Amino acid sequence: MSTSVKSAVQSTQPATRKHAGSKSRRILSTWGPPLAVFAVILIAWYLLADYLFGIGRKTVLPTPNRIVSESFFGRGDPITEDLLRAVGLSLSVALIGLAISITIGVVWAVLMSQGRWVERSLFPYAVILQCVPILALVPLIGTSIGYSFESRVLVCVLISLFPMVSNTLFGLQSVERSQRELFKLQNASRWTVLTKLQFPNALPAIFAGMRISAGLAVVGAIVGDFFFRRGQPGLGILIANYASRVQTAQLFASIITAALIGVLIFLLFGWIAKVAVGRWYEPAS
Amino acid sequence: MSTEPLLDFSGVAMRFPNGTVALSGVDLTVGRGEFVTVVGPSGCGKSTLLRIASGLETASEGTTALGTTRIGYVFQDATLLPWRTVQSNVELLAELNHQSKKVRSAKAKEAIDLVGLTGFEKNLPKQLSGGMRMRTSLARSLTLDPELFLFDEPFGALDEITRERLGDELLRIFAEQNFAGLFITHSVAEAVYLSTRVIVMSGRPGRIVDEFDIPFGYPRDPDIRFTPEFAALSGKVSHALREGHS
């Protein structure tokens, strides 16, 4: 047999070049550029903070070392413990909200994939959900169902649901015509087509949706918190409080922590997707 | 050889809802042991003919009779499920027909063996070449043990060497299994080389303009392609194709 079998190249790696591809070199090319940008940002930050300090506005932008020393370790007013507690709360709101979004989103999309008329009946509401200004809804949720943990989860779900619905639907519907006909020729039932063809076909899109929704869920958890300003303090309440008290170092520390959580969740879901479908899925490049 | 034809079309026409007439007045009979190839210009409705035979479309006029329910269908592309291994892809049709794991796996093993893919059972489609994917697709249809085998330009996307090799493999399997084949292609050489009979269709709406019996027996020596007889036949088919097109 002349046809050779290509080795299972990990398609998730951005085309690693062949020439002298030593490991350290690859690590450098992966991490080098973003780290260089980070260094530039830090330098610019110091320069800007110094300039603002020079014109007497030292509270506007604290230097990075002040953020670290005043917020996280010892000196001044360390908030590490408050931050950790807030992160725990916001993270659980985000993860529960995300789990609910994933479940509702997938079920919603599966229903819509079962018939044109179902899609026509239900899709507009997914769009409306996406278009309603969530900031206007948050106070309404607070006054009507309270400022509890559940209301924060609800805000989270409202923000993170749409990508799950639209991505799953796209995945379910993007089955090739010939593959569908392959099943049709064997008189496969709707259920069989869904479970053996459409759903596996949709998995890469579903995971891509999860990645987007996960980031939004973190945002949702913080936004809900920020506007409620009641109950146990999550990250949103911390941010609101530090902002009103002009504790800029602590404010920046909270914002950076919130962003880090978002990034970590994004990476986590990228990794989950790679483990789940990376084996067979080749993104069109 | 059974006298009952496995496919019998009479006066078949196809008019789509948008008014396009894809086929008109097609009479076609294919019996066991026959390998019939249809050649025609693109868009002449030759694929539609196959889709009607498979039941994917219903003819708008004429009668269509099938002598079997065991019908294999090979698509233009391999249509493998990318998340399944070769083994699992080949088992798919038996799985959809609710056969037991044991039966499925035995059938798949036999079919994989027949198309020369033994040793690649655990590979995923993305790890296979185009030719190997098509072999997998062929094996998948073979598990149905088809009496009527429909091919919709299956080798169209392959390079010439792979294409010829797969053609030879197909003929070997045909000689062993003795099914009735209906093969669509736009390559005259492929048509003459593979078949017992070549049908030439005209441009839209597709009509049968000519038929040629191919006198070569099986197994066929690949070198018959270079005989004067083969060249003469190919010339006639090409001529009919041009006539029908104008």
Long-range CB pairs of B105-110, under 8 A, 24+ apart, other chains included: B107/B143, B107/B145, B108/B139, B108/B143, B110/B143
- Provide the shortest C-alpha distance from residue B49 to chain A (in Å): 16
Least confident of A60-74, A137-151, B93-107, B207-221: A60-74
The first and second tokens of residue A282, run together, are 């080749």
Rounded to whole angstroms, what are the CA distances from B102 to B107, B143, B194?
9, 13, 34
**B116 interaction partners in chain A (CB closer than 8 Å):** 1
Q: What is the mean pLDDT of residues B49-63?
A: 92
Within 10 angstroms of residue A96's Cβ, the number of other Cβ atoms is: 18
User: Is B127 in contact with A277 (Cβ distance < 8 A)?
Assistant: no
B 8-67 → A contacts, CB under 8 A: 54-56
The pLDDT assigned to A101 comes to 96
User: Is A3 in contact with B129 (Cβ distance < 8 A)?
Assistant: yes
User: Is B82 in contact with A280 (Cβ distance < 8 A)?
Assistant: yes
Rounded Cα–Cα distance for residues A15 and B102 (Å): 41
Task: Name the nearest CA neighbour of A250 among A59, A9, A120.
Answer: A59
- Provide the shortest C-alpha distance from residue A272 to chain B (in Å): 16
The pLDDT assigned to A109 comes to 95
Which helix (H) or strand (E) segment is B19 a member of? none
pTM to 2 decimal places: 0.83
The pLDDT assigned to A160 comes to 92
CA B136 to chain centre: 15
Rounded Cα–Cα distance for residues B131 and A277 (Å): 24
B132 touches chain A (CB under 8 A): yes
- Provide the shortest C-alpha distance from residue A278 to chain B (in Å): 10
Omega within 30 of 0 (cis) for the link into A139? no
User: Is A203 in contact with B128 (Cβ distance < 8 A)?
Assistant: no
User: Is B96 in contact with A186 (Cβ distance < 8 A)?
Assistant: yes
Considering only the beta carbons, identify the residue of A5, A186, A197 that sits closest to B93: A186
3-state secondary structure of A250: helix
User: Is B81 in contact with A179 (Cβ distance < 8 A)?
Assistant: yes
For residue B71, list its beta bridge partners: B148
Considering only the beta carbons, identify the residue of A6, A184, A280 that sits closest to B56: A184
User: What phi, psi does B185 have (nearest 5°)?
Assistant: -155, 165
- pLDDT of chain A along its 285 residues, tens only? 333 333 333 333 444 444 556 788 888 888 899 899 999 999 998 888 887 777 766 667 777 877 777 777 655 556 777 888 888 889 999 999 999 999 999 999 999 999 889 998 989 988 888 888 888 888 888 888 877 888 889 989 999 999 999 999 999 999 999 999 999 999 999 999 999 999 999 999 999 999 999 999 998 888 888 887 777 888 888 888 888 888 888 888 888 888 888 889 888 998 998 898 988 887 765
B68 touches chain A (CB under 8 A): no
Q: Are B222 and B170 in contact (CB under 8 A)?
A: no
Rounded Cα–Cα distance for residues B195 and B241 (Å): 17
User: Is B126 in contact with A4 (Cβ distance < 8 A)?
Assistant: no
User: Is B82 in contact with A6 (Cβ distance < 8 A)?
Assistant: no
- Provide the shortest C-alpha distance from residue B45 to chain A (in Å): 17
Task: Name the nearest CA neighbour of A98 among A275, A265, A278.
Answer: A265
User: Is B96 in contact with A282 (Cβ distance < 8 A)?
Assistant: no
Chain B residue with Cα closest to A276? B83
Task: Name the nearest CA neighbour of B178 among B7, B4, B35.
Answer: B35
The pLDDT assigned to A14 comes to 44
| Per-residue model confidence as pLDDT tens digits over B123-167 | 999 999 999 999 999 999 999 999 999 999 999 888 888 899 899
| Three-state SS annotation for A171-192 | HHHCCCHHHHHHHHHCCCCHHH
Rounded Cα–Cα distance for residues B192 and B183 (Å): 11
